[in-house]
């Protein structure tokens, strides 16, 4: 996350500004939220269906990836006017 953001700032030739730091903090928050959603669903599968850790992780990734991606994409589109 942090490495990719730093690489993006460097490739674009931008300076690390307050806006860039706020974007990086927001990105890390989104990553943590998405991880919590995946972990929570995997734990739920382990408890209710008795799956192993690996099976629960794979099943939760298959089941939750699209909603997580769409929510993150919508949030990203919402901040585009602030970038411009």
Backbone angles phi, psi at 31, to 5 degrees: -65, -40
Average pLDDT, the chain: 88
Residue 1, helix vs strand vs coil: coil
What pLDDT score was predicted for residue 3? 86
Q: Is the pTM of this model over 0.75?
A: no
What residues in the chain have per-residue pLDDT under 50?
none
How many CB atoms neighbour CB 47 within 10 A?
10
């Amino acid at each position: 996350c942090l490495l990719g953001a730093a690489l993006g700032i460097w490739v674009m030739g931008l300076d690390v500004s307050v806006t860039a730091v706020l974007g990086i903090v927001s990105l890390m928050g989104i990553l943590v939220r998405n991880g919590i959603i995946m972990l929570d669903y995997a734990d739920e599968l382990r408890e209710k269906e008795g799956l192993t850790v690996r099976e629960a992780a794979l099943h939760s990734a298959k089941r939750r990836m699209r909603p997580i991606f769409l929510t993150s994409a919508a949030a990203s589109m919402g901040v585009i006017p602030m970038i411009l």
